[in-house]
């Protein structure tokens, strides 16, 4: 029984790897670039020893708070959150290729046809932020953020306006600014 499950899992893994390799080797219309650049998957902030000490003190204070108010589940949740956050943030961001083509935007392996992109905006506040924000339908992540890293934002905006409407008067969300401020 277990050997059947293991063999099925291996077959799935092999099939998934073959499919991914086939996608890499075959060019689609998404690969015919009008604009193209390399960007990291996400921004990884450099955190010093002071940041780590402050976060440790905050986590310890929250755990103690939960203990004294008989909220052991709160303390447990804080500990689990801290462990998960530290494990997830060990991952280094991969450089992905971003391709803007006639039919959509490809970021790494993800493809977004213009028909699924509701609107977009470019947050350009050097040196802090240089990002393309897209609201996408039919996706788990409602808003996709792609780093511009060296791409001319005016040229990108002018091209995207031909295919997608721009979100009027969009500013960077407060949550993004706070995440960047606290290096989370």
Span 14-52, pLDDT tens digits: 777 666 655 555 566 666 778 888 988 887 778 889 988
Place of tokens 């015919």: 32
In this prediction, residue 144 carries a pLDDT of: 86
Last residue of some domain: 88, 118, 147?
A: 88
Q: Rounded distance, CA 148 to CA 112, Å?
A: 16
Token reading at 69 = 């108010």
Same domain, residue pair 57 and 125: no
Same domain, residue pair 96 and 68: no
In this prediction, residue 43 carries a pLDDT of: 77
Task: Indicate whether 79 pLDDT > 90.
Answer: yes
Same domain, residue pair 61 and 12: no
Percent of the chain with pLDDT over 70: 85
Domain, as residue range, for 119: 2-43+92-181
Same domain, residue pair 106 and 171: yes
Same domain, residue pair 75 and 153: no
Output the average pLDDT for the chain.
Answer: 83
CATH of the domain at 114: 2.30.29
Same domain, residue pair 38 and 105: yes
Q: Rounded distance, CA 123 to CA 171, Å?
A: 7
Same domain, residue pair 101 and 37: yes
Place of tokens 């506040």: 125
Task: Compute φ and ψ for 94, nearest 5 degrees.
Answer: -85, 150
- Between the CA of residue 85 and those of 32, 60, 139, what are the distances in Å? 38, 15, 24
Same domain, residue pair 66 and 83: yes
Coil, strand or helix at 107:
strand
- Between the CA of residue 43 and those of 60, 96, 130, what are the distances in Å? 27, 12, 11
The residue-averaged pLDDT of 56-74 equals 93
Q: What is the pTM (predicted TM-score) of this model?
A: 0.67
Q: Rounded distance, CA 151 to CA 37, Å?
A: 7
Same domain, residue pair 6 and 30: yes
What is the count of structural domains for the chain? Answer: 2
Supply the angle between the helices 49-68 and 72-88 in degrees, to the nearest 10: 160
Same domain, residue pair 123 and 147: yes
96 or 127, which is more confident? Answer: 96
Same domain, residue pair 82 and 59: yes
The residue-averaged pLDDT of 125-135 equals 82
Same domain, residue pair 56 and 143: no
In this prediction, residue 18 carries a pLDDT of: 62
């Amino acid at each position: 029984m277990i050997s059947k499950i293991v063999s099925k899992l291996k077959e799935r893994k092999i099939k998934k790897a073959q499919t991914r390799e086939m996608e890499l080797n075959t060019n689609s219309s998404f690969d015919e670039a009008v604009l193209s650049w390399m960007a990291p998957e996400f921004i990884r902030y450099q955190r010093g020893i002071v940041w780590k000490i402050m976060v440790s003190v905050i986590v310890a204070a929250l755990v103690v708070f939960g203990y004294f108010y008989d909220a052991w589940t709160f303390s447990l949740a804080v500990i689990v959150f801290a462990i998960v956050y530290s494990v997830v943030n060990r991952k280094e961001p991969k450089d992905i290729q971003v391709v803007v083509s006639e039919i959509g935007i490809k970021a790494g392996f993800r493809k977004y046809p213009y028909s699924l992109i509701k609107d977009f905006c470019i947050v350009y506040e050097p040196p802090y932020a240089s990002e393309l924000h897209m609201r996408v339908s039919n996706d788990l992540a409602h808003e996709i953020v792609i780093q511009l890293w060296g791409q001319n934002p005016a040229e990108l905006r002018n091209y995207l306006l031909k295919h997608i409407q721009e979100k009027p008067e969009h500013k960077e969300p407060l949550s993004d600014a706070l995440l960047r401020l606290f290096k989370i």
